[in-house]
Every structure is written in C-alpha cells, then in structure tokens.
Chains A and B, each alone.
Chain A
Amino acid sequence: MPEAAAAPLVEPRPPRKLYRSSDGRWLGGVARGLAGHLGLPVVWVRLVFAGLFMADGLGALLYAAFWFFVPLGIGGVGDQKPPSLVTTETAPDGRRRLVARKPDKGQIVALLLMVVVATVFVGNVNLGSGAKAYLLPAVLVGAGVALVWRQADNARRARWVEVGRRRRTITLLRTGAGVLLVTAGVSGTFVLQGSTAHLGSVLQAALAVIVGITLLAGPYLVRMTQDLSEERLMRIRAQERAEVAAHVHDSVLHTLTLIQRNAENAGEVRRLARAQERDLRTWLYKPEGTGKEEADEPTTVADAVRRNAAEVEDKHGVPIEVVVVGDCPLDDGVGAQMQAAREAMVNAAKYGGEGGAVQVYAEVEGRTVFVSVRDRGPGFDLDSIPADRMGVRESIIGRMERHGGTARLRAVPDGGTEVELEMERAEKTS
C-alpha cells in the first residue's frame, strides 16, 4: 500500500508537501514524515516498512529512496497531535520545539530493531551461499551510509536552530565512523572476492582516482560553495534593505504627503519635517540591540533629555538642538532636574524661540549632572513678567532646590537667556 500511495505523494502538491520529520525520528524521519502526511499513526508506517523489508529488502530500498529524495522539514507527526495540525507545524514556532528536543532514545531502539529484523531476514531468506557471504559487507556499507546521511540532516537542522556548535566533535566522530564503516564494507567485499593480494594496489588505484577527481572537481566545488554563501549573504542584505525600505516607505512617504497637503502652512511643514528627521535619525543611528522602538519611560539622562526636547519641539514648533555628553540612569533628583529642564525648554521655546534654535546641552561628569538650556530670544527679565515669575521660581528654581540641586538663570551677553541646572546623583547608583 505505501508504494501505491507514495507515488503521487512525492510530487509536490502546493498545500501539503511531503517532508521528512526532523522531530522525534528514529532514523531518517521518513516514516514519521510520511505518517504525518498521510494522517496515519507512525507505528503503522514503520510496520509497513519493516514488513516490506522482508520482501527481499524492498522496504530498505524504499526507505533509502525516500531519505534521499524527500527534503527534511520541521515538524512531522506527533503521536498525540491530530495529523491535520502537522502540516501547519512547519511555522516558525516549530523551532522552539526543536531546541527542546530530547536526546535520540529512539535511535537505539531503531538500531536494535534493525539488527533483529536483519537477523530474521538472513535466517529466513535463502540466498545462495556465495551471495550470503556478501551480506555483512553490504550491511556495513548500509550502516555507514545511513550514519553519514543522518549527519547531513543534522547539519541542516543545526542551521535552523543554531545549535550544534558545541557538538562539533560528535559530528566529526559520526562522520568518521560512517566513512570507516563504508570503507570496511567495501574492503570486505574485495576480501571475499579473493583478491586480498591485490587489495593494496586496488586501494592505491582508488586513492589515485579520488585524488584525480578532487583535483578536477575541487575548484568547481569550492567555487560553488563560495557562490552559495555569497548568495546567502546577498539574501540577508536584501532582507535588511527591505526592512529599511519598509520603514522609510511608511514614515517618510507619509510625512511627504502631509507636507504636500500643508504646503502653504510653513510652521506645520517645518514641524512635520523635523519630527520626521528626528524619527529617521533615531531609527538609523540608534545603536544595535537597544531596540528601535521607543520604550515607555526614559530610563537614562540622555534618553530623557532627548525625549523632552522632541516633545517640546513638536508642541511649540521651535527647533531644539540637543547635545548630550555621557549618560547615567535616572534617580529622584536627576528626574526632578529633567522636569525642570523640560520646563526651561518650554519657556525658551515660548519666549525665545523666534531668535533661532534653542540649544540644550546635558553633561554627566562624575557625580554631577549638568543641563543648560539656551535660547536666543529677547532675553528673560524676571521682574518684568510677574506672572511667570512664580512659574520659573517654582517649576525650575524651586524644584531644583527642593531636590538639593542648583538652578541659575542668566542673560547671555549677546542676547537670549540661559538656564543652568546642576544636580548631584544619588550615591547608590553607579
């Protein structure tokens, strides 16, 4: 039955493609993959293969053919899962299951089973005495080939799950064992043929052929691997580019559209352009790993200063240039300082914004956090604006002093006001 069913199944049908299972497999994952594909219990498929093995080893041949031609996939049938789920199991979440895979206990069982079946097979099938002698070498070759193929599967799996680096010695050992088995099997055949005497010269000839082939095909192989890895690199780059393009497309084109619509509103255009510029810069120049999307609350001085400046800039439409030197985490005092700085920025944007960009400078040096907010407006006179006096006194000077810092407002010689805020960081933070 399997051979009848298998023939149409090997052809790739778009919705359900046959894969060998990399999960919970005993040998090559053929039975499991097939079971998942057919919606049958694994045991049945395995039994069918074992049964077919009795029919002159057809099962083994079939199994080998499947192993060779069907690609390895993620997923397969889980005994407890309904088979219909299995084909959708190839989604990326399958990876997590792979990593948590248990050691190959089933492999040992499979090996034992194979030995038993082989023994039964040898006992039952009556081969000619000459052919029977070749059985052991054939088994050896088969086992070796199985080992090496299995290894190739593992290498492929390791690429998906990014494991296997620490298992390199095991990889080598397994490949070596496979090669050894195959060599032993092939040599055994020669020995049985009674050409032991020529074994040396045959090996030499074989070696010469291998060297010759390597010399001929080597360059091609090397170039092919190089091409392949280059192609993979290009693919990764293309993916990155696509990500950037997506971002640029979304935000920049959107902004450009808005700018076109608001073309006669200079203030709005400027605001949009600056907001977009800031967004793009954050996205492009933020160091890797810090996360491109914004966190909910700023946790460091640099973050807080930039965030505040951006918000004030958006709200009041005055460009704010920020320079930050050093960084440290926020604590109570510094947090209050950030609030005061924000207040100062708002004041600068409101009353000094027409003179040009507001300049904000923040520096963390040792235990001291210093922030200066400077505008180039008409200058700020505390006495002439009584209503704002309280605001400045309370929200800037008062706030700083309550937390043990200092605030200074002063007129800059060539026009404009500068607010200087200084605060000591709390002891425990480092």
Chain B
Amino acid sequence: MSDPTDTNGTTGAGAAEPAQAPGDSAGGRHVRVVLVDDHRMFRTGVQAEIGQTEQTGVEVVGEAADVDQAVTVITATRPEVVLLDVHLPGGGGVEVLRRCSPLMSDAERPVRFLALSVSDAAEDVIGVIRGGARGYVTKTITGTDLVNSIFRVQEGDAVFSPRLAGFVLDAFASTDAPPVDEDLDRLTQREREVLRLIARGYAYKEIAKQLFISVKTVESHVSAVLRKLQLSNRHELTRWATARRLV
C-alpha cells in the first residue's frame, strides 16, 4: 500500500505554507486593513508584524477595541479587510458584523471580514462565519500566512484554517435524516474532500495537486462551502447547535 516515492528533492521549505503565490498580491497592490481587538498588546504585535506596508503590502488604517469603536472606525475608514476578534466588549465580533452588514454588501467597495481569534470554541467560530466573515484564522498564525490570508480575503476568497475546516465538517457531519428539499445546504463530495484536506493541513496548492484540479477550483469549492455555511442555517446547523446546547 505504501508508496514512498523519492522525496529527497523536496525539503522542509513548505513550512511557510504559501497559500497563493504571495508575490502576485503583495507586489503591486496594497490592502487597507482595520484591526479590531480588545487587547492592545495583540494589536501592537500584529501591527508590527504586518504593518510594514512596503514589504507586506498591508496598511493598517485603523484600530478599534470594542464594538462601537469598531463600527465607527470601519465606517469612517472604509477598509478593504477587517481583522476581527471574536470576543469583544459590547457584543462580540458577531455584533460588529451585524452592524456592518450594509458595508459588506456594498457592490463597489465591499468591506470584508477575517475572523482572528484565540478561541477554540466551535460556536464562536461558526458564529462569526455565519455572520458574514470570509474566513477564520487562529492567532498562532505566522505573519506571512496572515498577510496571505488578508490578500485572499480581499480578493473575495474564503480562508479556512484546518481548525475551521474541522468545525465545518463536524457541523455538516451529523446528517442522519437528511430532509429531502435541502439538497442545496448539503456539502458535495468534492467539497467535503477539499475540507478534509484543509483539515489535514494541506495548502490550497497541495490540495489542487492531490485532487488533480486547479487552485481556482479549490478556491471555488471553499467559497461554496462558506456560502452554504452562511446560508444553511436551518437544519444541520440548528441541530448541531442544539446538540451542543447553544440555542
């Protein structure tokens, strides 16, 4: 069964896990970002790590520490991406998303949200995703990965960390008695495969190679999953949430 092909050529260079060639995005353009987090230390850290605009292409145009402040700053600065903490005084990240929903659906300059959290609780994470966040990364993420994620979100793609993929699989897994008319809410076989590979720690490029599809296709699968997650709030998710005594 084992097929240990010669891997001497490939070294441990994959550590940085470049999701998408960073040169493309960081090179010519730059992204305006607002940081929302109630820990000043963390904001400072992120700022220091990604804030060198000429290197990373990321410009931090505003910071906020609670929900009211966040809404004000986001409305005033109209960033392209908001790094949003899940736990915030004043209602949490979900509340920010709710009050900023008109900005998200703006056709010309949509504001996109990337959830950034230390939280391990699935309900927190799924909550912000369903609230409209385009992805979720943990705070242990490296600076390079974070910059990549920011660009990916800015381009309209979804960013799934392995952990988020696990949560989503878990949420969609318990489908013992599928309702007939809810086919739309179900994950396709392919989407499930893609999610599994993300959960196993594969980068999009690796998933593409593994499944013999293009990176673009992987991205569209992931975006489809995100859409379903944001739309399908009826059966599975409700049941899932009920089982965990969330509702």
Contact = CB atoms under 8 A, between A and B. Distances in A.
Interface of A: 281, 284-285, 287, 321, 323-326, 352, 354-357, 359, 361, 363, 365, 372, 374, 376-383, 397, 406-418
Contact of A361 (B1, B2, B201, B203): B201
List the 10 closest A-B pairs by CB distance, nearest first. Answer: A379-B7, A359-B201, A355-B12, A323-B166, A411-B7, A356-B15, A415-B10, A361-B200, A415-B14, A414-B14
Interface residues of B, number: 35
A382 B17 CA distance: 25
B4 A376 contact: no
Contacts of A326: 170, 173
21 contacts: A321-B201, A359-B162, A359-B200, A361-B199, A376-B12, A376-B14, A378-B7, A380-B7, A382-B4, A397-B2, A407-B1, A408-B3, A410-B4, A411-B7, A412-B202, A414-B205, A414-B209, A415-B7, A415-B14, A416-B10, A418-B200
Nearest to B195: A325
B7 A381 contact: yes
Interface of B: 1-8, 10-15, 17, 120-121, 162-163, 165-166, 169-170, 173, 196, 199-203, 205-206, 209-210, 244
A221 to B, nearest CB: 34
Nearest to A359: B201
A357 B244 CA distance: 29
Given A410-B3, A411-B5, A321 B162 contact: yes
A321 B2 CA distance: 24
Given A285-B121, A352-B12, A413-B210, A380 B170 contact: no
Given A356-B14, A361-B200, 7 more contacts: A285-B121, A323-B166, A352-B12, A355-B12, A356-B17, A365-B173, A415-B10
A378 B121 CA distance: 33
A415 B162 contact: no
A382 B205 contact: no
A412 B173 contact: no
Contacts of A415: 7, 10-14
Contacts of B120: 281, 284-285
Contact of A416 (B4, B12, B121): B12
A352 to B, nearest CB: 7
Contact of B163 (A323, A378, A407, A414): A323
A376 B15 contact: yes
Contact of A372 (B13, B173, B200): B200
